[in-house]
Structure 1
């Protein structure tokens, strides 16, 4: 199972990523890779990575 995490460099995102990496394949999606306010970019990035789960930790 792969888990994509937006905002992996923030306080919450760092902790979530650290916990998930112990058992899952984690795809970190910082702002320079994914602007969550751009719907077309979100669709493109998610279709490229195809994560099983998306966790939004972006502020």
Structure 2
């Protein structure tokens, strides 16, 4: 299993100005790490008879 977090608030964004980080979170352009971990826990807690092949976890306002 591979997890690619995409736009997640992490140490990689440490150089972002705090105001920009706050605005991006409010606009739904960033995920909190807990949101990604909740998705992983969901995948791992499914019954053995269930297979999740793909799961893409994106912020609400992810621009493709």
TM-score (structure 2 length as normaliser): 0.33
TM-score (structure 1 length as normaliser): 0.35
| RCO higher in structure (CA 8 A, sep ≥6) | 1
Larger Rg: 2
Structure (1 or 2) with the greater strand fraction? 1
